[in-house]
Structure 1
Amino acid sequence: MANRQPQKADQIYEMLRRAIVMLEMKPGSPVAEKEICSVYNVSRTPVREAVQKLAEEGLVNVIPHSGTYVSQISFAGAEEGFVIRRSLEVEGVRRAASRATSEAEALKNLDDITVNMTRILEQGQHDTYIDADDALHSTVAKMSGMTRLWKFISMAKVDLDRMRQLSAPVPGHLERVTEQHIQIVEAIRRGSPDQAELAMRIHLDSSFEVMSSLIRGARGIFVEETDR
Structure 2
Amino acid sequence: MFKSEALTVSEPVNQQIYRQLRKAIITCQVLPGVLLSEKDIAGQFNVSRQPVREAFIKLAEAGLVQILPQRGTYVTKISVKKVIDGQFIRDAVECAIIKRAAQEITDSDLSLLEKNLKEQIDANKRKDIGYFLEKDDEFHQIIMNVIDCPMAWETVENIKAMMDRVRYLTLEDISPPEDLVKQHEKIVIALKKHDPEMATLALHEHLATILNTIKIVSQHHNAWFVD
Matches within 5 A, 1:59-208: 59-100=64-105, 103-170=106-173, 173-208=176-211
Count matched residues.
218
Choose which of 20, 25, 29 in structure 1 pairs with 2:34. Answer: 29
Distance 1:200 1:218 in 2: 28
What is the CA distance between 1:99 and its match in structure 2? 0.6
What is the CA distance between 1:127 and its match in structure 2? 2.4
CA RMSD, 1 decimal: 1.5
| Structure 1 runs not aligned, ≥5 long | none
What is the CA distance between 1:171 and its match in structure 2? 5.8
Q: TM-score, normalised by structure 1?
A: 0.91
AA in 2 matched with 1:155 = N
Aligned partner of 1:54 in structure 2 is 59
Distance 2:183 2:215 in 1: 19
- Contact persistence 2:175–2:213 (CA under 8 A): no
Tell me the percent identity. Answer: 31
Residues 163-172 or 125-134, more deviating: 163-172
AA in 1 matched with 2:207 = L
- Contact persistence 1:93–1:140 (CA under 8 A): yes
Q: Note the alpha carbon deviations across 1:117-139, whole angstroms, 9 max, x for none.
A: 11111122122111000000011
Q: Note the alpha carbon deviations across 1:133-168, whole angstroms, 9 max, x for none.
A: 000001111113333111111122121011101111
Q: Note the alpha carbon deviations across 1:63-114, whole angstroms, 9 max, x for none.
A: 12211110111111110000000111111111110112xx221111100000
